[in-house]
């Protein structure tokens, strides 16, 4: 699967489970502090976050790959666990969209009016996955070429595999 995107990232690009967000915020208040506010969501396998260098529009493409393969021309931005439910969607959100969705709509995507085109990764295998986000960045626009690598597991993976929390630097 390959998707092109354009987002005003507000400094953070998030990959979020639609079902996970709705279930989590049904009984939780949104914590506005970053990154502390999203750490419980990362630990629960609901969110993976990438800090971008730019708070402006970022364009690029996202590809989904399954399994473990080396990506020698890419840098790794983050790695964590991810829980994908049956009929789930993985949403690609800017930090401001994420904040509004979770604080104002309690994570209910179906009642959220997206500011830009909704970007959702669908048709993914269900269950636990190790999720690695690889990227190449380019000066133009800025432009990100992202690979979301999912390696599925029969057991729940550890919460953090790799977490540099380093911004993506544009060449």
Which region holds residue 138: left if phi is over 0, alpha if psi is between -120 and 50, else beta? beta
Q: Is the pLDDT of residue 49 over 60?
A: yes
Q: What tens digit of pLDDT does each residue of 87-105 get?
A: 999 999 988 899 999 999 9
**CA distances, 131 to each of 80, 115, 143, 162 (Å):** 5, 27, 21, 10
Q: What is the CATH number of the domain that holds 27?
A: 2.60.34
CA 57, 60, 66, 71 torsion: positive or negative? negative
Q: Which domain holds residue 51?
A: 2-163
Longest dimension (CA), the chain: 42
| Domain contains 169 | no
Is 12 part of any domain?
yes
Number of helices (H) and strands (E), helices first, in the chain?
3, 10
pTM for the full predicted model:
0.86
In a domain, 168, yes or no: no
Please check whether residue 170 lies inside any domain of the structure: no
Give residue 164's pLDDT band: very low, low, confident or very high (50, 70, 90): very low
End-to-end CA distance of the chain: 26
Q: How many domains would you assign to the chain?
A: 1
Percent of the chain with pLDDT over 90: 40
In the block, residue with structure tokens 């399994």:
67
Q: Report the percentage of the chain scoring pLDDT > 70.
A: 86
pLDDT digits (tens, 9 = 90+) for 141-161: 677 888 888 889 889 987 665
- Would residue 38 count as lying in a domain? yes
């Amino acid at each position: 699967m390959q998707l092109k995107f354009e987002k005003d990232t507000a400094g953070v690009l998030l990959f979020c489970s639609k079902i996970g967000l709705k279930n989590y915020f049904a009984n939780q208040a949104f914590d506005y502090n970053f990154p502390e506010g999203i750490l419980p969501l990362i630990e629960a396998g609901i969110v993976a976050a990438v800090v971008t260098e730019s708070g402006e529009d970022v364009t690029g493409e996202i590809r989904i790959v399954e399994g473990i393969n080396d990506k020698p021309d890419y840098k790794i931005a983050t790695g964590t666990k991810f829980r994908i439910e049956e009929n789930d969607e993985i949403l690609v959100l800017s930090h401001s969209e994420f904040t509004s969705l979770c604080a104002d709509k309690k994570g209910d995507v179906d009642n959220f009016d997206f500011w830009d085109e909704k970007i959702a990764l669908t048709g993914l295998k269900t269950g636990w996955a190790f999720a690695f986000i690889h990227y190449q960045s380019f000066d133009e626009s800025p432009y990100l070429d992202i690979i979301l690598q999912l390696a599925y597991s029969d057991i729940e993976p550890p919460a953090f595999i790799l977490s540099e929390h380093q911004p993506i630097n544009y060449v």
